[in-house]
Amino acid sequence: GDIICCHAMLPGGRLAFGLNGDFGEPMGAAFDLQLGAGAKLCLVAAAGDQGRLRVNLGQVAFAFPPPAKLIPLQLTEGSTETLEPLPVDPARGLGEAMEIRPMWQVKLPAAVKAWPVYAEPSRDSQGRKALKNGEVVEQLALQGGWLQHQAGWSPSKMIVAGKEYEALQPTPAWKAIDRPFRQKTARKVVRRVVHASFDTNVCSQHNWNFRGS
Protein backbone atom coordinates (compact mmCIF):
# COMPACT_ATOMS: atom_id res chain seq x y z
CA GLY A 1 0.00 0.00 0.00
CA ASP A 2 0.91 3.67 -0.23
CA ILE A 3 2.55 5.65 2.55
CA ILE A 4 1.04 9.06 3.27
CA CYS A 5 3.56 11.33 4.97
CA CYS A 6 2.38 14.11 7.30
CA HIS A 7 4.87 16.70 8.51
CA ALA A 8 3.92 19.25 11.18
CA MET A 9 6.28 22.17 11.75
CA LEU A 10 5.93 23.55 15.28
CA PRO A 11 5.70 26.13 16.67
CA GLY A 12 3.56 27.85 14.04
CA GLY A 13 1.53 24.98 12.66
CA ARG A 14 2.69 24.52 9.06
CA LEU A 15 1.48 21.18 7.70
CA ALA A 16 2.88 19.40 4.68
CA PHE A 17 1.98 16.07 3.07
CA GLY A 18 3.81 13.62 0.86
CA LEU A 19 2.98 10.42 -1.01
CA ASN A 20 5.59 7.68 -0.77
CA GLY A 21 8.22 10.29 0.07
CA ASP A 22 7.28 12.69 -2.76
CA PHE A 23 6.45 16.13 -1.31
CA GLY A 24 6.20 17.78 -4.76
CA GLU A 25 2.96 19.04 -6.32
CA PRO A 26 0.12 18.27 -5.84
CA MET A 27 1.47 17.25 -2.42
CA GLY A 28 3.69 19.47 -0.30
CA ALA A 29 2.82 22.38 2.01
CA ALA A 30 -0.93 22.41 2.61
CA PHE A 31 -1.83 24.53 5.65
CA ASP A 32 -0.38 27.33 7.70
CA LEU A 33 -2.47 27.30 10.86
CA GLN A 34 -0.52 30.12 12.52
CA LEU A 35 -1.00 28.54 15.92
CA GLY A 36 -0.30 30.52 19.01
CA ALA A 37 2.02 29.52 21.83
CA GLY A 38 0.82 26.44 23.72
CA ALA A 39 -1.58 25.28 20.98
CA LYS A 40 -1.98 21.53 20.47
CA LEU A 41 -2.63 19.40 17.40
CA CYS A 42 -4.76 16.24 17.47
CA LEU A 43 -4.26 13.47 14.93
CA VAL A 44 -7.39 11.90 13.42
CA ALA A 45 -6.99 9.14 10.82
CA ALA A 46 -9.53 6.80 9.24
CA ALA A 47 -9.20 4.05 6.62
CA GLY A 48 -12.87 3.62 5.73
CA ASP A 49 -14.97 0.47 5.88
CA GLN A 50 -12.77 -1.67 3.62
CA GLY A 51 -9.36 -0.09 4.21
CA ARG A 52 -6.47 -0.91 6.50
CA LEU A 53 -4.37 1.74 8.19
CA ARG A 54 -1.21 1.67 10.27
CA VAL A 55 0.02 4.86 11.91
CA ASN A 56 3.71 5.45 12.63
CA LEU A 57 4.19 8.23 15.16
CA GLY A 58 7.90 7.65 15.35
CA GLN A 59 7.87 4.36 17.25
CA VAL A 60 9.86 3.00 14.29
CA ALA A 61 12.07 4.79 11.77
CA PHE A 62 10.23 6.73 9.06
CA ALA A 63 10.29 5.07 5.64
CA PHE A 64 10.26 8.53 3.97
CA PRO A 65 11.50 11.43 6.14
CA PRO A 66 10.46 14.95 5.05
CA PRO A 67 12.74 16.77 2.61
CA ALA A 68 15.26 19.37 3.74
CA LYS A 69 13.21 22.17 2.10
CA LEU A 70 9.55 22.78 1.23
CA ILE A 71 7.86 25.25 -1.12
CA PRO A 72 5.65 27.52 1.06
CA LEU A 73 1.96 28.14 0.45
CA GLN A 74 0.75 30.74 -2.02
CA LEU A 75 -1.19 33.05 0.28
CA THR A 76 -2.96 34.77 -2.64
CA GLU A 77 -4.99 32.68 -5.07
CA GLY A 78 -3.60 32.84 -8.59
CA SER A 79 -0.39 34.51 -7.45
CA THR A 80 2.62 34.01 -9.71
CA GLU A 81 5.12 35.20 -7.15
CA THR A 82 8.18 33.00 -6.85
CA LEU A 83 8.63 31.91 -3.26
CA GLU A 84 11.87 30.70 -1.79
CA PRO A 85 11.84 27.18 -0.33
CA LEU A 86 11.46 26.98 3.43
CA PRO A 87 14.20 25.23 5.37
CA VAL A 88 12.92 22.25 7.34
CA ASP A 89 14.36 21.14 10.64
CA PRO A 90 15.31 17.46 10.93
CA ALA A 91 12.18 15.37 11.43
CA ARG A 92 11.48 13.78 14.78
CA GLY A 93 8.72 11.31 15.54
CA LEU A 94 5.89 12.28 17.84
CA GLY A 95 6.89 9.26 19.86
CA GLU A 96 9.78 11.28 21.28
CA ALA A 97 7.30 13.64 22.93
CA MET A 98 4.82 10.97 24.01
CA GLU A 99 4.61 9.42 27.44
CA ILE A 100 3.07 6.01 26.86
CA ARG A 101 1.59 4.37 29.92
CA PRO A 102 2.37 0.69 30.49
CA MET A 103 -0.32 -1.79 29.46
CA TRP A 104 -1.31 -5.00 31.22
CA GLN A 105 -3.29 -7.95 29.88
CA VAL A 106 -5.41 -10.26 32.00
CA LYS A 107 -4.41 -13.91 31.52
CA LEU A 108 -6.45 -15.91 33.99
CA PRO A 109 -5.19 -19.24 35.34
CA ALA A 110 -7.52 -22.20 34.89
CA ALA A 111 -8.61 -22.07 38.54
CA VAL A 112 -9.60 -18.38 38.40
CA LYS A 113 -12.75 -17.19 36.63
CA ALA A 114 -12.24 -13.40 36.94
CA TRP A 115 -9.74 -10.92 38.40
CA PRO A 116 -11.06 -8.61 41.14
CA VAL A 117 -11.29 -4.83 40.96
CA TYR A 118 -11.72 -2.55 44.00
CA ALA A 119 -12.43 1.15 44.48
CA GLU A 120 -9.26 1.53 46.59
CA PRO A 121 -6.03 -0.50 46.94
CA SER A 122 -7.57 -2.63 49.68
CA ARG A 123 -9.71 -5.77 49.72
CA ASP A 124 -11.88 -4.09 52.37
CA SER A 125 -12.94 -1.36 49.91
CA GLN A 126 -15.97 -1.50 47.63
CA GLY A 127 -15.76 -4.05 44.85
CA ARG A 128 -16.27 -3.22 41.20
CA LYS A 129 -16.85 -5.17 37.99
CA ALA A 130 -14.15 -7.83 37.69
CA LEU A 131 -11.76 -8.10 34.77
CA LYS A 132 -12.31 -10.87 32.25
CA ASN A 133 -9.70 -13.02 30.59
CA GLY A 134 -7.95 -11.23 27.71
CA GLU A 135 -8.85 -7.69 28.79
CA VAL A 136 -6.14 -5.03 28.37
CA VAL A 137 -5.88 -2.23 30.95
CA GLU A 138 -3.75 0.89 31.14
CA GLN A 139 -1.54 1.43 34.17
CA LEU A 140 -2.29 4.64 36.04
CA ALA A 141 -0.25 3.85 39.15
CA LEU A 142 1.48 1.05 41.07
CA GLN A 143 1.24 0.94 44.84
CA GLY A 144 2.33 -1.86 47.15
CA GLY A 145 1.38 -4.77 44.92
CA TRP A 146 -1.72 -3.04 43.52
CA LEU A 147 -2.29 -1.84 39.97
CA GLN A 148 -4.49 1.18 39.35
CA HIS A 149 -6.22 1.22 35.96
CA GLN A 150 -9.25 2.86 34.37
CA ALA A 151 -11.68 0.55 36.19
CA GLY A 152 -10.16 0.80 39.66
CA TRP A 153 -7.51 -1.08 41.64
CA SER A 154 -6.52 -4.73 41.12
CA PRO A 155 -4.07 -6.82 43.16
CA SER A 156 -1.05 -8.16 41.31
CA LYS A 157 -1.43 -11.48 43.15
CA MET A 158 -4.36 -13.37 44.70
CA ILE A 159 -4.65 -16.47 46.87
CA VAL A 160 -7.35 -18.97 45.89
CA ALA A 161 -7.83 -22.18 47.92
CA GLY A 162 -4.45 -21.69 49.57
CA LYS A 163 -2.59 -21.22 46.27
CA GLU A 164 -1.16 -17.94 44.98
CA TYR A 165 -1.98 -16.83 41.43
CA GLU A 166 -0.95 -14.00 39.12
CA ALA A 167 -3.04 -12.86 36.16
CA LEU A 168 -1.76 -9.41 35.14
CA GLN A 169 1.06 -9.58 32.62
CA PRO A 170 2.84 -6.70 30.83
CA THR A 171 1.84 -6.33 27.18
CA PRO A 172 3.01 -4.01 24.35
CA ALA A 173 1.34 -0.61 24.41
CA TRP A 174 0.15 -0.95 20.80
CA LYS A 175 -1.53 -4.33 21.26
CA ALA A 176 -4.84 -2.74 22.27
CA ILE A 177 -4.76 -0.61 19.10
CA ASP A 178 -3.37 -2.93 16.42
CA ARG A 179 -6.00 -5.64 16.31
CA PRO A 180 -5.02 -8.70 14.24
CA PHE A 181 -6.36 -8.54 10.71
CA ARG A 182 -8.78 -11.30 9.87
CA GLN A 183 -9.61 -12.10 6.30
CA LYS A 184 -13.33 -11.99 5.64
CA THR A 185 -14.73 -15.22 4.29
CA ALA A 186 -17.63 -15.35 1.90
CA ARG A 187 -20.79 -16.83 3.31
CA LYS A 188 -22.03 -20.02 1.73
CA VAL A 189 -25.43 -19.77 0.08
CA VAL A 190 -27.51 -22.94 0.25
CA ARG A 191 -30.26 -23.29 -2.32
CA ARG A 192 -32.87 -26.01 -2.16
CA VAL A 193 -35.69 -26.97 -4.50
CA VAL A 194 -38.87 -28.15 -2.76
CA HIS A 195 -41.62 -29.98 -4.65
CA ALA A 196 -45.00 -29.76 -2.88
CA SER A 197 -48.67 -30.27 -3.56
CA PHE A 198 -51.52 -28.17 -2.17
CA ASP A 199 -55.08 -28.91 -1.10
CA THR A 200 -56.98 -26.53 -3.37
CA ASN A 201 -60.15 -26.72 -1.25
CA VAL A 202 -58.36 -25.58 1.87
CA CYS A 203 -56.62 -22.80 -0.09
CA SER A 204 -59.90 -21.51 -1.46
CA GLN A 205 -61.47 -21.50 2.02
CA HIS A 206 -58.67 -19.25 3.29
CA ASN A 207 -58.41 -17.17 0.11
CA TRP A 208 -54.83 -18.30 -0.44
CA ASN A 209 -53.57 -17.61 -3.94
CA PHE A 210 -50.38 -19.06 -5.38
CA ARG A 211 -48.70 -18.12 -8.62
CA GLY A 212 -45.93 -19.73 -10.54
CA SER A 213 -45.19 -23.08 -12.06
List, for residues 151-171, the tens digit of each pLDDT value: 999 999 988 888 899 999 998
Taking residues 125-141, what's their average pLDDT?
A: 92
Predicted confidence at residue 176, as pLDDT, reads 52
Predicted confidence at residue 76, as pLDDT, reads 42
pLDDT grade, residue 178 (50/70/90)? low
| Distance in angstroms (rounded) separating the CA atoms of residues 167 and 134 | 10
Question: Using a CB cutoff of 8 Å and minimum separation of 24, what contacts does 70-77 make?
Answer: 70/7, 70/16, 70/23, 70/28, 70/29, 71/28, 71/29, 72/14, 72/29, 72/32, 73/29, 73/30, 73/31, 73/32
Taking residues 4-23, what's their average pLDDT?
A: 82
Q: Which of 71-85, 87-101, 107-121, 168-182 has the lowest mean pLDDT?
A: 71-85
Predicted confidence at residue 185, as pLDDT, reads 73
Segments in the chain forming alpha helices (H): 200-205
Predicted confidence at residue 86, as pLDDT, reads 66
Eight-state DSSP code of residue 145: T
Taking residues 72-94, what's their average pLDDT?
A: 58
pTM score:
0.44
Predicted confidence at residue 75, as pLDDT, reads 45
Taking residues 13-31, what's their average pLDDT?
A: 82
Taking residues 125-142, what's their average pLDDT?
A: 92
